[in-house]
Amino acid sequence: MTLDVPAPPTAPAPAPAPAPAQGLTARATHDGVKFLLALFVDLTGKPCAKLVPVEAADILQHEGVGFAGYAVGALGQQPSDPDVMAIPDLTSYTPLPWVREDLALVHCDPYVEGTPWPFAPRNILKAVLGSTELELFAGAEVEYFLVHRDDTGRLTPADARDTDAQPCYGARGLTRMYDHLTDVSTAMNTLGWGNYANDHEDGNGQFEQNFAYADALTTADRVITARYLISVLAERRGMTATFMPKPFADRTGSGLHLHLSLWRGGDPLFPGERDHGLSGLAHQFLAGVLEHAHALQAVLAPTVNSYKRTGAVSTRSGATWSPRQPSYGGNDRTHYVRIPEGNRIELRGADGSANPYLALAATLAAGLDGVTRDLDPGATGARTRPDLPPTLLHAVDALAADPVVSGALDAAGPGVAAYFGELKRAEFFDWHGTVGSWEHDRYLTAF
Ligand code: GLU
Ligand code: MG
């Protein structure tokens, strides 16, 4: 709920992070860094890392660091498989003195026996980005709650005074979290991410800290780094930062809105003469996103909890601000795709549990399919498409039936979409197999 990504339609494409002139050892030594967090995520977005001392930075740079892939989590590996080697992408090197004075993080590409591992989300996004001569730029709005969990497991906003019925933009709620929010802001701006706003969102305990758009891979890396940084800094203050889509049934959920635009050779391709100041290409891309929305939700909203966000009819504050249908409109936050200005589209389907690499890969493939097939998004504002999937299970079925979105997950090698689908199907049934208080309340004495 902020001013979004401030880029006029004619703004030049932001330069991708420059390739470092020096190796990892020199960079780290120059920055006083003694340890490197060599990090990558599995298909669920879980950040996995090894702490590598600067003395071994050369080895890390040239050979990578090894992981038992099965232990990582959802990475398509068996216990008998050879090591996953995490090879650092030096352009992602990020000093993190706010976490520890002598720490830097570097995002890694997982390899197995010298080949990029096809189940690794960063490799998947790189493969989809490499499949087109067009460039995808993305901004991501990271929403999250700061909570406490008591001994009984009950969640409350970390700020006990954060109880207003209409907490959005509340100046006092924002100020009470000043130390945390400004630490994150300072970190983002020192890193050159261009943090331009920090606000109290619409749920009690909910915040958003915006940073400027960048090329899709950089933005995906930054979402992972931001979640890590925000979580660590919140823990320091005795709070839990959660990106789960719907921590409280009666409050707004946490989205991961994606602002998307295509460019070619530094020129923006989305501004144009059609509706909302968009080009024909932007309309085709938008149509592709709408066409594949049901399957996309399996990737953009990949947890059981996600569907409590998009399925909600209202919240305590009066609105959910999350979409229920694949529709699009102008500067109207009730749509699946909002068009804030004629330079980008804002996809509001993704939530805080989305893996940003997979989300951007799948959305790019969906949009490009719209371009290839010259699809038309239909009338602006129309709400005629079937509702978004009501549960994770419905979304996974839609994914299995959609070769374009499945194809994006399989972009670095086959079998990933099927594996992801099985994983998510099992997650759904794992949840479905539990018996909770809703059932006790409803059924215990009902018969
Ligand atoms: N929190 C809302 C969501 O779940 C979005 C609110 C906003 O527009 O910032 O998507
Ligand atoms: Mg928001």
Output the domain CATH number for residue 368. 3.30.590.10
The closest residue, in CA terms, to atom 7 on ligand 1 is 1
Q: Which residues pair with 257 in a beta bridge?
A: 141
C-beta 348 within 6 A of ligand 1: yes
Q: How far apart are CA 189 and CA 363, in angstroms?
A: 28
The reply to whether 237 and 267 lie within a common domain is: yes
Q: Which of 50, 85, 117 is the last residue of a domain?
A: 117
The reply to whether 90 and 143 lie within a common domain is: no
Q: Residue holding tokens 């959005």?
A: 168
C-beta 338 within 6 A of ligand 1: no
Tell me if 6 is assigned to some domain.
Answer: no
Q: How far apart are CA 275 and CA 345, in angstroms?
A: 12
Q: Are 2 and 257 in contact (CB under 8 A)?
A: no
The reply to whether 74 and 144 lie within a common domain is: no
Q: Ligand 1 centre and the CA of 407: distance in Å?
A: 29
> Of the bound ligands, which one is closest to the alpha carbon of residue 199?
2
C-beta 321 within 6 A of ligand 1: yes
Task: Give the domain range for residue 48.
Answer: 25-117
C-beta 322 within 6 A of ligand 1: yes
Q: Ligand 2 centre and the CA of 210: distance in Å?
A: 9
Q: What integer pLDDT is reported at residue 180 of this predicted model?
A: 98
The distance between the two most distant Cα atoms of the chain, rounded to a whole number of Å, is 73
The reply to whether 233 and 376 lie within a common domain is: yes
Q: What integer pLDDT is reported at residue 22 of this predicted model?
A: 81
Number of domains in the chain: 2
Tell me if 69 is assigned to some domain.
Answer: yes
C-beta 255 within 6 A of ligand 1: yes
Q: Are 390 and 312 in contact (CB under 8 A)?
A: no
Q: Which of 322, 324, 325, 336 to mutate to test the pocket of ligand 1 (most atoms within 8 A of CB)?
A: 322
Q: Beta strands 103-112 and 35-41: pairing type?
A: parallel
Q: Residue holding tokens 């839990």?
A: 240
Q: Which of 2, 202, 313, 331 to mutate to test the pocket of ligand 1 (most atoms within 8 A of CB)?
A: 202
The reply to whether 80 and 157 lie within a common domain is: no
Identify the three-state secondary structure at position 442.
Answer: helix
Q: What integer pLDDT is reported at residue 21 of this predicted model?
A: 55
Count of C-beta atoms within a 10 Å radius of residue 197: 15
Tell me if 11 is assigned to some domain.
Answer: no
Output the domain CATH number for residue 52. 3.10.20.70
C-beta 225 within 6 A of ligand 1: no
Structure-token pair, residue 150:
């008591």
Q: Ligand 1 centre and the CA of 408: distance in Å?
A: 26
The reply to whether 237 and 385 lie within a common domain is: yes
> Of the bound ligands, which one is closest to the alpha carbon of residue 202?
1
Cβ contacts of 100 within 8 Å, gap of 6 or more: 35
The reply to whether 374 and 266 lie within a common domain is: yes
The reply to whether 104 and 146 lie within a common domain is: no
Q: Which of 76, 91, 117 is the last residue of a domain?
A: 117
C-beta 1 within 6 A of ligand 1: yes
pLDDT tens for the chain, 447 residues long, are: 554 444 433 444 554 454 445 899 999 999 999 999 999 999 999 999 999 999 999 999 999 999 999 999 999 999 999 999 999 999 999 999 999 999 999 999 999 999 999 999 999 999 999 999 999 999 999 999 999 999 998 999 999 999 999 999 999 999 999 999 999 999 999 999 999 999 999 999 999 999 999 999 999 999 999 999 999 999 999 999 999 999 999 999 999 999 999 999 999 999 999 999 999 999 999 999 999 999 999 999 999 999 999 999 889 989 999 999 999 999 999 999 999 999 999 999 999 999 999 999 999 999 999 999 999 999 999 999 999 999 999 999 999 999 999 999 999 999 999 999 999 999 999 999 999 999 999 999 999
| φ, ψ at 425 (rounded to 5°) | -65, -45
C-beta 333 within 6 A of ligand 1: yes
The reply to whether 256 and 110 lie within a common domain is: no
C-beta 200 within 6 A of ligand 1: no
pTM equals 0.95
